Structure 1
Amino acid sequence: MVRAIQPQDLVDSTVMDNSGSKIGKVGTVYLADDTKRPEWVTVKTGLFGQKESFVPLSGAGLEKDGLHVQVAKDQVSDAPRIDAEGHLSEKESVELYKYYGLPTPRSGDSPTTQNRGRDAAAGGMAGGTTGREAATGGAAGRGRTTGQETAKGGRRDASGDVVRSEERLRVGTEQVETGHVRLRKYVVTEDQQVTVPVTHEEVRVEREPITDAKAAGRAEIGEAEQDVVLHAEKPVVQKETVPVERVRLGTEQVTEEQTVQGKVRKEQIDIDDDTRRGKKS
């Protein structure tokens, strides 16, 4: 026998779509007033989970890795934004049913059946209640209760205790993409000047007087010539490609502090003592 999903089982569960992709975390569980069974959940999405979208529990199953629903992640992201404040009106309920392509409630249903109550994020179901469950205060009901309601919305039981609740910010982090860095190389042309030493030959005329005519040999008058080959060096330019540097991209994590803020509500306690009226202190 398959056990019915209980509200307390859904609180903070990971929600997976019909393809197994993670959508977000369960924020609030909405119960049907007639059956007291979970019918809708809101899913926390966006940065720090500040956005909540309604997701139907029709055909959903609770597994080890989270709550598997029968709708797509894109459908949840584009779902109508409804600020139910703990209670869905008939019009809002019909709008959500139509958006997800689910059968709408029968027109003959009573208003009690049409409206949907909410179970708290940490409290489970309160027995005997039909209205809205407290947002964070456990099983204290805000609909039809047997205790006496106080002016501030708390519940006073037979012992005279009043439970005071308040909201607190739950801050987390998520990794987002901030940009791309690409590494590429390209070719540029530039002029280079290199000084190269070169040598060349020049003609030098050497004259040597003859002091000993006999040793010089026989002298004759006539024409004669002598050739000398001159040599010189010239620059020769060749190009070669050589590796000069290796460049790579890497990442490092830098931790910094950022301040976030948000509005939270809390309950205050007023004491109205009618026994002190008309008395002078």
Structure 2
Amino acid sequence: MFEIEDIREWRGREVIDESGSKVGQLEAIYVDTATDQPSFATIKTGLPTRQRLVFAPLSGATVGPEHLRVARAKKQIKNAPAISTDGELLAGDEQAVFDYYDMPYRAAPDERRLARR
């Protein structure tokens, strides 16, 4: 895995899928509040007038010279839960992101599991 301090510098760089297809541009990193480790990336996708931010897990991701490669297929990422480009992931919507990728989710009803960094 990579250090969160390093990946913060990557905003706006290309994100590619497991086969090398371009998915979009890196917008933000969400860390797991229990471990303070990078957990999800938001990727800006869509047409310039209809862009959105989709979530992709960072487990298995690697950093290349000018890109971030995520270990998921482009089609799966494009259909993932999304927020508007000026939106924020609400605590009540976190579980849907984890469920979409078949990842375990544990957080108290009044706690956030993910925090944007």
Q: Secondary structure at the match of 1:92?
A: helix
**Which has the higher Rg, Structure 1 or Structure 2?**
1
Distance change >3 Å, CA 9–CA 111, structure 1 → 2: farther
Correspondence for 2:115 among 114, 117, 140? 117
Partner of 2:3: 4
Corresponding position of 2:20 = 20
Q: Retained in 2: the 8 A contact 1:88–1:115?
A: no
The superposition leaves residues 221-255 of structure 1 with CA deviations (integer Å, 9 ceiling, x where unpaired) of xxxxxxxxxxxxxxxxxxxxxxxxxxxxxxxxxxx
How many Å separate the matches in 2 of 1:87 and 1:51?
12
C-alpha distance in 1, partners of 2:87/2:114? 11
* Structure 2 Cα separation of the partners of residues 3 and 97 of structure 1: 21
Structure number with greater CO (CA < 8 Å, separation at least 6) is 2
Structure 1 CA distance for aligned equivalents of residues 56 and 75 of structure 2: 12
1:82–1:92 contact (8 Å) kept in structure 2 = no
* CA positional deviation for 1:117: 1.2
Deviation at 1:8, TM superposition (A): 1.5
Change in CA separation of 1:8 and 1:80 when aligned onto 2, cut-off 3 Å: closer
> Please, what TM-score do these two structures have when normalized by structure 1?
0.36
Q: Give how far 1:46 is off.
A: 1.2
> Which deviations, in whole Å up to 9, do the C-alpha atoms of 1:50-89 show, x marking residues without a partner?
2211111111111113111011111111112345933441
Match of 2:56, SS? strand
Alignment-derived partner of residue 47 in structure 2: 47
Q: What's the RMSD between the two structures over aligned residues?
A: 2.5
Mark the CA change 1:58 to 1:3 in structure 2 (over 3 Å): closer, same or farther.
closer
Q: For residue 67 of structure 1, what is the aligned residue in structure 2? A: 68
Task: Give how far 1:35 is off.
Answer: 2.8
**May I ask how many residue pairs the two structures share in their alignment?**
114
Give the CA deviation at 1:111: 4.8
The alpha-carbon distance between structure 1 residues 4 and 41, as it changes in their structure 2 partners (threshold 3 A), is: same
Q: Distance in 2 between matches of 1:38 and 1:86?
A: 17
CA distance in 2, matches of 1:59, 1:81: 21
Flag structure 1 segments of 5+ consecutive residues without an equivalent.
120-281
CA gap 1:81/1:8 in 2 versus in 1, 3 angstroms = closer
Same amino acid, percent of matched pairs: 32
Q: Indicate the SS of the match to 2:9.
A: helix
Look up the equivalent residue of 1:64 and give its one-letter code: P
SS at match of 2:82: coil
Structure 2: which amino acid aligns with 1:81? A
> Contact 2:52 / 2:83 at 8 angstroms: preserved in 1?
no
Q: Match of 1:79, SS?
A: coil
Q: Is contact 1:25–1:45 with CA below 8 Å preserved after alignment?
A: yes
1:38, distance to aligned residue in structure 2 (A): 2.1
2:81 is matched with which residue? 80
The structure with the greater share of residues assigned to helix is 2
TM-score, length of structure 2 as denominator length:
0.78
The whole-number CA distance in structure 1 between the counterparts of 2:97 and 2:81 is 7
Q: CA 1:111–1:34 in structure 2 vs 1: closer, same or farther (change >3 Å)? A: farther
Tell me the distance in 1 between the aligned counterparts of 2:89 and 2:37: 15
Q: SS at the partner of 1:64?
A: coil
Separation in 2, partners of 1:23, 1:8: 18
Structure 2 unmatched ranges of 5 or more: none
